[in-house]
Structure 1
Amino acid sequence: MSQSRGGVQVLQVGARHHFAIPRMLQEEKSLHSVVTDTCPGAGAIGRVLKALPQPLLPSVLKKWSTRSPRGVALEKIHTSELSGVYQLLASRGVLRDHWDFDGPIFKQYEKSCMSLDLSGVKVIYAMLFEASPRFIRKAKAQGVKVIYDVYITPTWHHTVNAEREKWPEWEGRERVEREDFERRVTEMIELADILLCPGENVVDGLREFEGFDASKVRVLPYGCGIDFEGRVNEAKPGRVLFAGSANLRKGLPYLAEAAKILRERGREYDFRVAGGVDESIRSLPECEYLHFLGRVARPDMKEEFLSADVMAFPSLAEGCAGVVHESLFAGLPVITTKSAGSVIKNEQGGLIIAEADALALADAIQAVVENRELRDRLAQGALDYRERLSEQTWKDGIMELVNELQEGGAA
């Protein structure tokens, strides 16, 4: 494949995909820079995080300390650390959550972006919403092309708002403001040269918005951002893993209900929930049979994938859930929904169930755990996805898009 002729600037809050996208671009000598919030070793806070032993850090900072930008030169990383501090405050309930576009989190990130010198930047690869329309207009005025990574279906807020009506005690956060959110999506559609979608579920969501232009759409499933170093899952029977933020969008109430159903059937499986969780959710009586691990460091998370019996991920709205593809890459069978946006097909690496159906989830978990022949067949099917989900395949797809834009293609 021909090498990109210019620099790509990546905009991402957090360590999305474990910094896989900037790492792949750097491998191809195409990375100009990365703009993120907080990163160990980069920026004042990042240098302190890297210097301090992890056991000395308060729990709220341990996640930041594990955001290792493996394979990305620190001098290419620009941090918007005040934006990260505001996110930390939001996670503690001090500020409104991440989706307040007029709040300090987005405003500070925008301010950091606006201060950057765009000399040498030819393409911006921006995660959904993490590039303000004002900054993108500035970049496009200088001839920069824009790829928007639409990492979640843009209609997810409908699902979340509906779930909050059904489960008011599960999440106390305010509703996502529909008009503000949908205006932002419409602006993104207008400004993008390429709308990169990890699955057809995301394309379907975009179609519901004014100005949708199918000619801008490219579909590229995410690969696996974890290196398992050649190891393959060795299951501990009855260990059921859920990975991701423990919230309504990812279907946690239905996982809790499925665990209860199975306990009533006499199946005492180990339901392990790896990811951030509010204490208000952890303490709900409905979650009695869930084992909350909290935020898990990346090396330990690899061990969770490699030792679980089945991944149960009943998500209601995603783009392309990375944890599903990481599970497949590890050889771990997955039970999930179409809304997870994965490449997985029913009985090929896992089982697909209906959304918001705790009984179907319980039945599927029991079938995989109790029927070892089925479980082994699904595990082999999971490994069959490895080439399609490899980082090389993913990188090739991204480089094709970058080169397309630099050769004058797309909008």
Structure 2
Amino acid sequence: MGRTPGELCGRQVLRRALAEVGPGGRAVDHSLFRGMRRVCLSAHTGAGFCMGISLDLHGRDNDGSVAFRPREGISGFEKAPRHCRGGDPPRRLSPLMLFPEMPDQGDKRRTIGAQGPRQATGPVAVAMLGGRRHYAVARALHAAGLLDCLFTDLWAHCWVCRALALAPGVCSLPGMRHLLNRRHEDIPAEKVVQFPLWGLWRLAARAGRVSTASIYRFYAAQNSRFCSRVAAAARSRTPAAFYAFNAAALEIFEACCLRGVRCILDQAAAPWEYDEQLLAEERDHWPDWEAGQVREDDWRPLAKRERQEWELADRIVCGSAHVVEAVKASGGPFEKCEVVPYFAFGGGDNLVASRGPDGTLIDRTRPDGRCRVLFVGTLCLRKGIQYLWEAARLLSSERACGRVMLRAIGTQALSQSGIRALREVMEVLPPVARPDLAGHYRWADVLALPSLSEGSANVGYEALAAGLPLIVTAQSGLPVQDRREAVLIPARSGRAIAEAIRHFLDRPQELAEMSAAALRTAATLSESSYAERLVKAIAHGSEFRVREMAGSRDPSEKPDGTRSV
């Protein structure tokens, strides 16, 4: 026909795909698609390549033929026609993405989302922006011998970061030490695929955005660009599964579905729509605390990406039951969710923070009768920092004045007036590199986490490993018990935070007891146990799909559709 494989148009792809389904008109046999809402049909173009088209099943006629409609949002469509029936191709489609054929898959039909089964029986590729959880997912998979590669924006072993590290005075610049710690010795450099120049540009461009609305729009655009880069770079690889994070996985999962690769989504926080509904109320209650106004149009693209990722994902890994409940409340596929609690990602640095210079455990009962309260995290409304400010104001007007010291460490995502209000009642410090947090944990007596919504707060696990008792909300998603290693408080209550601090002031002996309990809890949440739970969740997800397609129920499934790991 005079075309190269990459020039085949959508009309030819669809004709070949429908022809390949089988002889005797099986392409229009509705029994072939029973129980499916979407299907991805692939066509071999020669030279070891295949192409595909994703279609919605749009209904059936009396003669058993199936009506198809190209799925909205799939890259490669310029104008999505309303539908095409049976083997009739659409009038006009632009060329679709080209992928190397999976050598171990042969000519099996590709299916999207829950139409599997797609088995995770081989290596797993991981895609992530930044150093989430200190690369815990990639480390766990590598330790289990299952890591295909790690795709990330920036890895500190690249030539750009090495050059920056050698430049005089660069390491003393704000945030530079944090940047140069974007690596981990447990992950071999040959397992990392990065985009260093784009990664540096992204960090610089993000730093120039102050308002929450502009940051949301920036995230939506750059998440899409990152995923497109990963999808292009992954064409020569053949993982059995791809692990990516919410709102930064869509284009990767679309490519995976065309190749029959299993999709695992890490729902690192509650859904965007769920959080924004909470924050809309907070912005009304605290009108001057956030920089700029946020409209639905600012965060809706991220929420839309997230919902599309839910549909394509075979399994959704959540850090806490709070996330599962938030997915359910948002109308999401909570039956795909599995809870895998985290661990103290800082490792030995946190354990050092629990001991003094002589190696003995720190006595948290201060002879001066003071209570040192630490907050670590982004200074934003979702983290509840405004209610810690409210508690500090209450305590300053009581006899506790002068006996409570507060310190907040983190990226400043509030307005200037909000930051000024915080500085009136507490010490506010910029974010520090992970190794430097140990000194702050050693300084503190208690860690306050008054979050309105979290996935599962990483800093909480680090504080437990440092022997710090917690003042925490249930929405922080931490595996703690009230009055054991933490004081649980209701969300949105500065008065409850103040009462918890008073509790430690009046009963200093409980600090030592809860500190010991925190260390015991952290010991049960080890890196090895996290790796075991994560690998089990990925592997059991594929087995669950096989049983589900057979019409039986997974014996470990809870009544609400979730599964314990």
Q: Distance in 2 between matches of 1:336 and 1:241?
A: 12
Q: Distance in 2 between matches of 1:30 and 1:323?
A: 27
Larger radius of gyration: 2
Gaps in structure 2 of 5+ consecutive residues: 1-119, 356-361, 549-565
Q: Distance in 2 between matches of 1:303 and 1:12?
A: 28
The answer as to whether partners of 1:41 and 1:49 remain within 8 angstroms in 2 is no
* Aligned partner of residue 226 in structure 1, secondary structure: coil
Give TM-score, length-normalised by structure 2: 0.67
Gaps in structure 1 of 5+ consecutive residues: none
Higher mean alpha-carbon deviation, 321-330 vs 176-185, is at: 176-185
> Residue 220 of structure 1 corresponds to which residue in structure 2?
340
> Residue 124 of structure 1 corresponds to which residue in structure 2?
242
Q: Distance in 2 between matches of 1:39 and 1:59?
A: 18
> Residue 138 of structure 2 corresponds to which residue in structure 1?
22
Distance 1:277 1:9, change over 3 A: same
Q: Distance in 1 between matches of 2:122 and 2:317?
A: 19
Q: 1:10 aligns with which of 126, 148, 166?
A: 126
Give TM-score, length-normalised by structure 1: 0.90
Deviation at 1:238, TM superposition (A): 2.0
Matched, 1:32 2:152: no
Distance 1:383 1:56, change over 3 A: closer
The answer as to whether partners of 1:18 and 1:225 remain within 8 angstroms in 2 is yes
The answer as to whether partners of 2:253 and 2:309 remain within 8 angstroms in 1 is no
Q: Deviations over 1:197-226 (max 9, x none)?
A: 111111111113345251x12111111111
Q: Distance in 2 between matches of 1:144 and 1:299?
A: 37
Higher mean alpha-carbon deviation, 324-333 vs 235-244, is at: 235-244
Matched, 1:141 2:258: yes
The answer as to whether partners of 1:6 and 1:120 remain within 8 angstroms in 2 is no
Q: Which amino acid aligns with 1:139?
A: C
Deviation at 1:337, TM superposition (A): 0.4
Matched, 1:272 2:401: no
* Aligned partner of residue 149 in structure 1, secondary structure: strand
Matched, 1:255 2:388: yes
Matched, 1:77 2:77: no
The answer as to whether partners of 2:206 and 2:218 remain within 8 angstroms in 1 is no
Q: Distance in 2 between matches of 1:63 and 1:103?
A: 23
> Residue 307 of structure 2 corresponds to which residue in structure 1?
186
The answer as to whether partners of 1:15 and 1:69 remain within 8 angstroms in 2 is no
Q: Distance in 1 between matches of 2:316 and 2:383?
A: 24
Q: Distance in 2 between matches of 1:101 and 1:92?
A: 11
Q: Distance in 2 between matches of 1:281 and 1:64?
A: 28
Distance 1:125 1:54, change over 3 A: farther
Q: Distance in 2 between matches of 1:53 and 1:326?
A: 32
Higher mean alpha-carbon deviation, 330-339 vs 91-100, is at: 91-100
Q: Which amino acid aligns with 2:303?
A: E
Deviation at 1:153, TM superposition (A): 1.0
**Could you say what the CA RMSD is over the residues aligned between the two structures, in angstroms?**
2.5
> Residue 199 of structure 1 corresponds to which residue in structure 2?
320
Distance 1:313 1:281, change over 3 A: farther
> Residue 20 of structure 2 corresponds to which residue in structure 1?
none
The answer as to whether partners of 1:349 and 1:381 remain within 8 angstroms in 2 is yes
The answer as to whether partners of 1:186 and 1:210 remain within 8 angstroms in 2 is no
* Aligned partner of residue 272 in structure 1, secondary structure: strand
Matched-pair identity in % = 25
- Equivalent pairs counted in the alignment come to 405
> Residue 283 of structure 2 corresponds to which residue in structure 1?
164
> Residue 88 of structure 1 corresponds to which residue in structure 2?
204
Deviation at 1:63, TM superposition (A): 2.5
Deviation at 1:366, TM superposition (A): 2.1
> Residue 448 of structure 2 corresponds to which residue in structure 1?
312
Deviation at 1:245, TM superposition (A): 0.7
> Residue 557 of structure 2 corresponds to which residue in structure 1?
none
